[in-house]
Chain A
Amino acid sequence: MSVLLDHLPELWQGLIVTIQLTAASFAGAAVLGAVVCALRVSPVRVLRAIGTAYVEAFQNLPLLVLLVLAFFGLPEIGIQAGILTTAIVVIAVYEAAYVGEALRSGVNAVSKGQGEAARAIGLTFGQSLRYVILPQALRTVVQPLGNIFIATTMNTALAAAVGVVDLTAAANRVNLAEAQPIPIFVGAGAAYALIAALAGFVTGRLERRLVILR
């Protein structure tokens, strides 16, 4: 146990990096995912095709391949940013495909009559989206988005494999120095479980408050 306390600064720093990675890339994924969803439900065929291609590509490529490509491939064509920024962008781009699909399933879950009623009373496309469709769609996807948030937390660990010193990498370093795997890895695992439990608690509360029973 004392090994955890001795190395608290490193582990704490790792936890901060993990939280930064998770928060920043999930925020990015939410914005980008909304765009992807908008493309996929738009009436324009070319835009739908772009959205579909995006989702297909990023749901079928392993995140680690994307990270390796961004960290070791892109510098070869003169594209390079700080390692934390690169990791955040890559994870956001990857998770955006999943967020986009979750949002789209929410839009599809809104019954057809709602859209028709909105248009019948003369709302424009933007208005019916803003006042009728989205408020209902977002409420049905609280749980799926919470699951994506938890998956994002787990996925940020992959950044450790390309050199970002997050919680997983910090735990590994401390273990290599101290050779006391049990307290260190159990501690790191507990930290991840805690983040996930917190996310689950928040989405559970949100869902109970927002859900519409149909």
Chain B
Amino acid sequence: MSVLFDEPGPKAVRRIRVATVLGTLAVVALAVLAVRQFAANGQLDAARWQPYATWPMWRYLLNGLWSTFLAAVVSAVLAMAFGLLLALGRLSPRAWVRGPSAAYVEVVRTIPALLLVYVVLFALPRYGLDLPLFWKLVVPLTVSNAAAYAEIFRAGINSVERGQMEAGLAIGLTRLRAMLLVVLPQAARRVLPSLVSQSVGLLKDTSLGFVVSYGELLYSGKVLAAYNGLLIQTYLVVALIYLVVNMSLSKLARVLEARQPVTLRRRTAGA
């Protein structure tokens, strides 16, 4: 039960019943309205949906999904590695390491990913750096997500008790070795759920391939819609695929979260 209400009494039970009926009616009305709108504009004709009961259309979109995964995984791995370095940099005792790392994270967090994409698309070629298509999407995503991963890692490292680092130093490890051997393994396990949900965000960002013309899922949808002229159907199918994939990943994040001991969950919640 939430803080807001107790077990309902007889009057409350009646009110709940009324609200249930009204809520159900509202959903049904919305669905009817949507279907009528589709029908009135001839978008419900079997011929306009039939292509999506055939394999070639799906094969094309699933190819796009594969490219989405490829871009997401490569950029997640690079961004996590870079993010970890930034997090260690921000926690470093040396000011000349700490300053630049903090500046990078704070600045990049406030710049839209699309602006970075435009920089890679239109600014870098002018200076003779014309990346292959795949990297035109992956590089800006890596640059922007590294800052987000860095903050997650930093929260995780800060959540490990000070005594762990001190114990490491006491048995004669250097700061770096104590960090790598004692603190980081514990921090990494704690932030795993946050890493997964940030990766869902990264997977959502790969839809910027639409701008780059890299053949990921959304861009594949655009190409397909231009080819068969079924705009709303194609984009709805694309949305459905994104929904299924991302909901599974989000579910994974929740399962990982639920497996953490309760005391740890509270400490890293701020990440």
A and B bound? yes
Stretch of B35-43, B49-57, B171-179 with 4 or more beta carbons under 8 angstroms from chain A: B35-43
Contacts of A65 in B (CB 8 A): 207, 218, 235, 238-239, 242
Q: B95 in the interface, Cβ–Cβ < 8 Å?
A: no
Closest to B3 in A: A115
Residues of A close to B235: CB separation below 8 A: 65, 68-69, 72-73
From B19, B115, B122, B208, residue with most partner A Cβ within 10 Å: B115
**Is A193's CB under 8 angstroms from B107's CB?**
yes
> Using Cβ atoms and an 8 Å threshold, which residues of chain B touch A63?
204
Partner among B3, B8, B119, B200 whose Cβ is within 8 Å of the Cβ of A108: B3
For residue A77, CB closer than 8 A to chain B, the reply is yes
Which residues 6-63 in B have Cβ within 8 Å of A in the complex? 6, 8, 12, 16, 19-20, 23-24, 27, 37-38, 40-41, 43
B218 CB contacts on chain A under 8 angstroms? 62, 64-65, 68
Please tell me if the beta carbons of B38 and A77 are within 8 angstroms of each other in the complex.
yes
Stretch in contact with the other chain, from B80-88, B155-163, B184-192, B243-251:
B243-251
Q: Flag if A61 contacts B23 (CB, 8 Å).
A: no
* Bound Cα distance from A210 to B250, whole angstroms: 33
Interface of A: prevailing SS = helix
Please state if A192 and B111 are interface contacts (CB–CB under 8 Å). Answer: yes
Are A43's CB and B3's CB within 8 A?
no
Q: Nearest Cβ distance between residue B69 and chain A, in whole angstroms? A: 14
Binding site for B on A (CB under 8 A): 41-47, 50, 56-57, 59-66, 68-69, 72-74, 76-79, 107-108, 110-112, 114-116, 119, 125, 128-129, 133, 150, 153-158, 160-161, 168, 171-172, 175-176, 179, 181-182, 185, 188-189, 192-193, 195-197
